[in-house]
Amino acid sequence: MESRYLLDYAHIAERVRDARRRQRLTQAELAEQIGLSTNAVAKLETGLMTPSLPTLVSLANALQLDMNELFSARADGEPESGLDLYLGSLLRGLSVQDKEFLVRTIDALAQYKKTAETE
């Protein structure tokens, strides 16, 4: 069975470190917020420690991350781009009706492009 998603702990470590820095937190401050030692946070950020699911949830809450941001790596090894993550965050705030409208609009644009290319 082909996997669509993989659990890339190095990628998760990078996301945690980057989010912590964006929040302007030290490793010690983050460690205190999530109930880990500073050493454990350092190991987590360098990929030397594999975080448990409860730890990942605590990290996401403390760093104000969507869980998808932590796990946003595809099976082909390519991480989701910043644009993909941004679009995802925009979509989360929309109603179902607005999302359906966007899908119809994107479909129409794709059809227009396809038609223009064949002419």
Instruction: Give pLDDT tens digits for 62-115.
Output: 998 888 777 765 444 455 566 666 677 777 778 889 989 999 999 999 998 888
d(C-alpha 19, C-alpha 112), whole Å? 39
Q: Which whole number is the average pLDDT over 22-31? A: 94
**Mean per-residue pLDDT of the chain:** 83
What is the reported pTM? Answer: 0.58
User: Which of 59, 2, 62 is closest to 71 using CA atoms?
Assistant: 59
- Whole-angstrom Cα Rg for the chain: 19
